[in-house]
Chains A and B, each alone.
Chain A
Amino acid sequence: MSSLGTKRLGKELAKQVSKSLPPGITLVKADDLQEWLLDIQVLDQNPIYAGETYRLKFRFGKQYPIEPPEVVFTKQENRPIPMHPHIYSNGIICLDLLGSSGWSPVQNVESVCMSIQSMLTGNTKNHRPEGDADFVSTNKARPKDIEFYYHDNEV
Chain B
Amino acid sequence: MNQDDDPVHYPPRRSNHLLAAAAAAAAAAPSMPPPNTPEEGLVSAPTTATLALRPITRDLEMTAASPPTIAAIIPAVDLRALEYEGNVDENLICPICRVALVAPVITNCDHVFCQKCLVQAHALNPVCPVDRQPLLKLSSETRPAPKVVANQLDNLTVRCPNRPRGCDLVVARSLVENHVSRYCDKTLVPCPHPSCDKSIARKDVAKGCLHYEVDCEFCGQPVRKADLETHQDLECLNRKTNCELCDWEFVRSKQEEHTKECPEVGVTCKFAPFGCNHKMSRRHLEQHCARCEYRVVGPVGEQLAELRAEMTALKEKDRLKDRRIKFLENRGYSAPAATENISNMNLPAQETAPYESRDQYFLSLFETMESKVERLSSALTEVEGRHSMMLFNETMPIKDQLTEIRSTLGVLGMHVRWLMNFRLQERGRVLGGGGGGANSPSLPGTSQESSSDSNLPRRLSDTMREHPPRL
On chain A, the residues within 8 Å of B120 by CB distance are 4, 63, 66, 105
Q: Is B78 an interface residue (CB 8 A)?
A: yes
Alpha-carbon gap, A105 to B120, bound state (A)? 10
Q: Is B129 an interface residue (CB 8 A)?
A: yes
Contact with B along A120-155 (1 / 0, CB 8 A): 000000000000000000000000000000000000
Q: A3-B78, A3-B80, A104-B130 are in contact. Are A11 and B121 (CB under 8 A)?
A: no
CB distance from B136 to the nearest CB of A (A): 16
Residues 60-102 of B at the A interface (beta carbon under 8 Å): 78, 80-81, 95-99
On chain B, the residues within 8 Å of A108 by CB distance are 98
How many A-B pairs have beta carbons closer than 8 Å: the answer is 54
| Inter-subunit contact B121/A8 (CB<8 Å) | no
Q: Is B8 an interface residue (CB 8 A)?
A: no
In this complex, what residue of B is CB-closest to A103? B125
Alpha-carbon gap, A64 to B81, bound state (A)? 17
Contact with A along B119-148 (1 / 0, CB 8 A): 011011101011010000000000000000
Residues 41-77 of A at the B interface (beta carbon under 8 Å): 63, 65-67
On chain B, the residues within 8 Å of A20 by CB distance are none
Q: Is B36 an interface residue (CB 8 A)?
A: yes
| Inter-subunit contact B99/A7 (CB<8 Å) | yes
| Inter-subunit contact A105/B80 (CB<8 Å) | no
Among A8, A63, A66, contact of B98 (Cβ-Cβ < 8 Å) = A8
Q: Is B325 an interface residue (CB 8 A)?
A: no
Q: Summarize B's interface: helix, strand, loop or mixed.
A: loop
Alpha-carbon gap, A101 to B132, bound state (A)? 10
Alpha-carbon gap, A100 to B125, bound state (A)? 8
Q: Is A106 an interface residue (CB 8 A)?
A: yes
| Inter-subunit contact B129/A3 (CB<8 Å) | no
| Inter-subunit contact B124/A100 (CB<8 Å) | yes
Alpha-carbon gap, A7 to B96, bound state (A)? 11
On chain B, the residues within 8 Å of A100 by CB distance are 124-125
| Inter-subunit contact A106/B96 (CB<8 Å) | yes
Residues 328-345 of B at the A interface (beta carbon under 8 Å): none
Among A11, A12, A105, contact of B117 (Cβ-Cβ < 8 Å) = A105
Contact with B along A83-120 (1 / 0, CB 8 A): 00000000000000000110111101000000000000
| Inter-subunit contact A105/B129 (CB<8 Å) | yes
CB distance from A2 to the nearest CB of B (A): 9
| Inter-subunit contact B80/A4 (CB<8 Å) | yes
| Inter-subunit contact A104/B129 (CB<8 Å) | yes
Among A3, A12, A65, contact of B96 (Cβ-Cβ < 8 Å) = A65
Q: A104-B130, A104-B132, A106-B130 are in contact. Are A4 and B125 (CB under 8 A)?
A: no
Nearest 6 interchain pairs by C-beta:
A105-B96, A104-B129, A106-B95, A105-B121, A106-B129, A66-B120
